[in-house]
Amino acid sequence: MKRLENKIALVTGGSRGMGAAIVQQLAAEGATVAFTYNKGAEKAASVAAELTGKGQRSLAIAADSADPSAVVAAVDKTVAEFGRIDILVNNAGIAVMKPFEDYTLEEYNQTMDINARAVFVGSQAAAKHMGKGARIITIGSCMADRVSGPYGTLYAMSKSALTAFNKGLSRDLGPRGITVNLVQPGPIDTDMNPADGAHADAQRKNISLGEYGKVEDIASLVTFLASPESGYITGTAITIDGGTNS
C-alpha cells in the first residue's frame, strides 16, 4: 500500500517548478491530486496528461491566487470532483526582487495577495472540508528568517507572514486532528530562481552544500509531511536550504 492511497490533495501552482514536482510525488504515493495554475494552461495540461498516462485521476484548475474568489472556487471544484480534501499544499508564489525604492504599490499588493492572502483564504476554505488526519502544508521561504542580500525585502515580508500564520493555524486546527506545517526552501532551481541565473552565484556562496536544491528535494519533504508518518509534527517550520541560513 502506498503512503497516500485514497487521499485527496489540492496543490496551488502545480503547473511547473516545485508545485509540479509536488503534484507528481503525491500522485506517485497514491493520492488523487487537483492543482491550480494561472498563466500556464499548456504546462498544466501536460502535468495532468502525465498523470493520466500513469492511470491516475487529476484535475487542473485555472485559478489566479491573487483573486480570493478563484482560490475558494478551486477548493469547491476539488470537493465537487473528489468529495473532500485531505491534503492542501499552498505552493503558488511570486517573487518581485528589486531595490526597495522601486517597488510599486501594485507589486506590494500583488505579492501580499498571492503569497499571503491566498494562503489564508485557501486554508480557510479547505479546512471546512477536512477531517482528522488532514494536512495543510505551506511553502514559505528561508528568507522569512534571514535575508542575506538586497532586493528581497517585499518577498521576505510576504513569506514571514506565513510563519505566524502556520503557528496560529496549528493551534486552531490541532483539536480537529489536522496538522499544519511550513516548508521553507532555500535556493531551488526553478523558473523563479534558475541555478544559471544572473544572481545564482551570489546565492550559491551562501549555501553550505554549495549547490542549488532540486524540486524533488522539496517534493520529498512535502510528501513526508503529507504522510501518516508525520502525524505528530505540527506548527513547525522546516527549513530545507542546503545550509543557507546556518
Ligand X SMILES: NC(=O)c1ccc[n+]([C@@H]2O[C@H](COP(=O)([O-])OP(=O)(O)OC[C@H]3O[C@@H](n4cnc5c(N)ncnc54)[C@H](OP(=O)(O)O)[C@@H]3O)[C@@H](O)[C@H]2O)c1
As annotated, the active-site residues are 155
Q: How far apart are CA 238 and CA 245, in angstroms?
A: 12
Q: How far apart are CA 192 and CA 197, in angstroms?
A: 9
Q: How far apart are CA 64 and CA 227, in angstroms?
A: 28
Phi, psi of 134 (to 5 degrees): -75, 165
Helix (H) or strand (E) holding 89: strand 87-90
Residues 48-67 that bind ligand X (CB under 6 A): 64-66
Interface pick for ligand X out of 10, 40, 111, 179 (rule CB under 6 A): 40
- Only one of the segments 86-94, 98-106, 121-129, 170-178 lies at the binding site for ligand X (rule: CB under 6 A); that segment is 86-94
The 159-188 site mask, x for binding ligand X (CB under 6 A), equals: --------------------------x-xx
Contact indicator for 193, 95 with CB cutoff of 8 Å: yes
Interface pick for ligand X out of 136, 139, 144, 173 (rule CB under 6 A): 139
- Only one of the segments 26-34, 75-83, 90-98, 226-234 lies at the binding site for ligand X (rule: CB under 6 A); that segment is 90-98
- Only one of the segments 9-17, 51-59, 167-175, 225-233 lies at the binding site for ligand X (rule: CB under 6 A); that segment is 9-17
CA distances from 116 to 120, 155, 242 (A): 7, 10, 25
Q: With H, G, I as helix, E, B as strand and everything else as coil, classify residue 122.
A: helix
Contact indicator for 225, 183 with CB cutoff of 8 Å: yes
Q: How far apart are CA 126 and CA 188, in angstroms?
A: 27
- Only one of the segments 8-16, 145-153, 161-169, 225-233 lies at the binding site for ligand X (rule: CB under 6 A); that segment is 8-16
Interface pick for ligand X out of 16, 117, 129, 135 (rule CB under 6 A): 16
- Please choose, from the candidates 201, 174, 173, 203, the residue with its C-alpha nearest in 3D space to the C-alpha of residue 186: 203
Q: Does 22 bind ligand X (CB under 6 A)?
A: no
Kindly tell me which of 161 and 192 has the beta carbon lying closer to ligand X.
Answer: 192
Interface pick for ligand X out of 193, 223, 234, 244 (rule CB under 6 A): 193
Could you tell me the three cell numbers for 138? 505551506
Kindly tell me which of 8 and 118 has the beta carbon lying closer to ligand X.
Answer: 118
CA distances from 159 to 7, 67, 179, 230 (A): 28, 18, 19, 23
Query: Hey, how many other C-beta atoms are within 10 angstroms of the C-beta on 73?
Result: 17
Interface pick for ligand X out of 25, 32, 78, 91 (rule CB under 6 A): 91
Interface pick for ligand X out of 24, 25, 32, 37 (rule CB under 6 A): 37
Interface pick for ligand X out of 8, 9, 18, 85 (rule CB under 6 A): 18
Enumerate binding residues for ligand X (CB under 6 A): 12-19, 36-40, 64-66, 91-95, 114, 139, 141, 185, 187-188, 190-193
